[in-house]
Structure 1
Amino acid sequence: MITTVHKITKKPNNSQIVAGLLPTDSNIEFGGIKDTKEVFFVQNGKTHQFSDLPLKYVKQLEEKYKSDVPAQKYLNGITNLFHKQLELYTYFLYGDIDTTPDILDGILQEPENFRDSDNCPSMLFKHKVIKIQDYILTPREILITDLFKKDFTDKIIADSLNIAHSYLDYLKRNLFKNCGVTTKTAFVLKAQKYGVIQL
C-alpha cells in the first residue's frame, strides 16, 4: 500500500490552459462543433453561445469577413443569413480550441492553423494561412503534409502529385529547411505541434 502523499506546489503553466478558461481571463477563445459548425466561445471561465458575443467583437469579425471576398462567395452559397455566415466564417478561421486567445486584450488575432478537413474550404479564404512557426505553407506543401500524415511513401506521394521523385526530394528539402527540421518524422511532429495536422 502506498501511503506517501505528494503535495503539489507548482502552479499550472497558464500557457498550457485553454485561453479564456480561467475565471480571471477576459480574453476569448472560439471553438467549433465539427458536425454542426456551431461556434461557442470561452471567456472568464465560462462557455457562451456565439450569439452572446459582445457587439464590439462582432464588429471586428464583420470587418474581417467583409474584406474576404472568397469567403463571402463560398458562404453565400451555404446560407443567405448574414449572422450565420459570420458564425461559419468564425468557425473556419478560429474553430479549434487552443491555448492562444483568438481575441487578445480586446483585439481579434490572426486566424489559427485550424482546418475542418484536409480539403477545408477555408483554404480558399483571403485571411486563411497555415503556418509552421513563421513559415507560411504553400497549397502544395499543405498537400504534401497531408500525404506525409497518411504515411505514404515518397513514390506514392510523387505519383499522386504527378511529379518526378527527384522534384519531390527538392520540395521536401526546401520544406524541411523552412520549418527547421531534417527528417520527415521531425516534420510531421512539428506540423502536429503547430496544429497543421491532427494524428
Structure 2
Amino acid sequence: MSIRHGLLALLERGPRYGSQLRTEFESRTGSTWPLNVGQVYTTLNRLERDGMVAQDGEDEAGHALYRITDGGRAELKTWFEKPVDRTSPARDELAIKLAMAVGAPGVDIRAVIQSQRHHTVKAMQDYTRLKAQALAALESGESRERDDVAWLLVLEQLIFQTEAEARWLDHCEARLIRLSATATAAKETGPPAGAVTSAEDVRPAPLR
C-alpha cells in the first residue's frame, strides 16, 4: 500500500494537516487500511525531505498545514499513469501457511484449508452486504459521492479478491486429494522406478 501517494493525492485537493489527512484517507478507503497519526507525520516528513510537500503555515486552530509541490504533482502523475508492479508480489500469509503445511508433521492441511475457506466466505458475505449498503446510499442520494464511490470500488476489489481466494482454496483441496490418491495407488501397486514414495518428496505441481 502506498501511503505516500495516497497522501499526495489528498494534498492535491488543497493544504491539509496530519489528522485531517488520516481521516480523509480512511474515509476514502472505508477504513480498510487504517492509519495512525504517527504514520501520517512520518510519511509527511519523508515527503518534505524529498521535496514533494512543503509546510504551508497553520490553520485557525494552530494545525501545521502541508501542501503539495510541483515535484509532488509530478510524482503523483507518474503513480497514476504507471501500472502497479506484479512481477514481485507481496508476501501472502495464506500461501506461505499452506506451503509450510505440506508435509508438516501433525498438521492436517485439509483442516487448515477448510477453516480458512469458512473465514474467507464469511468475509465475502460481509463485503457483499457492505456493497449493498453503499449502493443503496448512492442511489438514494444520501452519500458524500466521491468518498462513497471510492469506498464502493475498494469493496468490489475485496469481493473479487475473496472470491478468487475461495476458488484457490477449492483448487488446493482438489489437488491434495488427487496427489493422495496417486500416492495410495502407487503403494498398492508398487512404485515404478523414480516414483515419489514419501510425503516429504511431494512437490507442488504447476497450477493449471
Query: Given the two structures, how large is their TM-score scaled by the length of structure 1?
Result: 0.21
- Kindly indicate which of the two structures has a greater share of residues assigned to strand: 1
Query: Given the two structures, how large is their TM-score scaled by the length of structure 2?
Result: 0.21
Which protein shows a greater Rg?
2
- Kindly indicate which of the two structures has a greater share of residues assigned to helix: 2
